[in-house]
């Protein structure tokens, strides 16, 4: 959660990080103030995460929330890889 919350603090398009335990969600929005879902950006990021080897689920009422449900055997190295891929994918989709 700390890595995802760090992304939230640094990127205007990450509207919320929520969840409990190993069931988390990362919401993609146009901006934090309006919280309007950004499905186009979500889809771009989603495709890039797959290109980089990270498979995530889609969810949320508007289909703009990454569903993150890693296996119980996840390691710290796996977490670091996943957060790195998320950040790279966001950056590549924004610029």
Show pLDDT as tens, one digit a residue, over the chain (95 residues). 999 999 999 999 999 999 998 999 999 999 999 999 999 999 999 999 999 999 999 999 999 999 999 999 999 999 999 999 999 999 999 98
Judge whether 15 and 29 are in contact, CB under 8 Å: yes
Which position has the token pair 């186009």?
Answer: 40
Judge whether 90 and 14 are in contact, CB under 8 Å: yes
Taking the CB of residue 40, how many other CB atoms lie within 10 A of it? 12
Adjacent-strand bridge partners of 41: none
Predicted local confidence at residue 64, as pLDDT? 98
Domain boundaries, the chain: 2-94
Taking the CB of residue 27, how many other CB atoms lie within 10 A of it? 21
The CATH number given to 2-94 is 3.90.1150.10
**Predicted model pTM:** 0.93
């Amino acid at each position: 959660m700390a890595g995802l919350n760090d992304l939230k603090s640094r990127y205007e398009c990450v509207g919320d990080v929520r969840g409990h335990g190993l069931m988390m969600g990362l919401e993609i929005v146009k901006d934090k103030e309006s919280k309007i879902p950004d499905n186009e950006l979500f889809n771009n990021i989603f495709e890039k995460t797959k290109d980089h080897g990270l498979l995530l689920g889609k969810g949320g009422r508007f289909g703009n929330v990454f569903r993150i449900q890693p296996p119980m055997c996840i390691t710290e190295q796996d977490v670091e890889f996943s957060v790195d891929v998320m950040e790279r994918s966001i950056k590549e989709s924004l610029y």
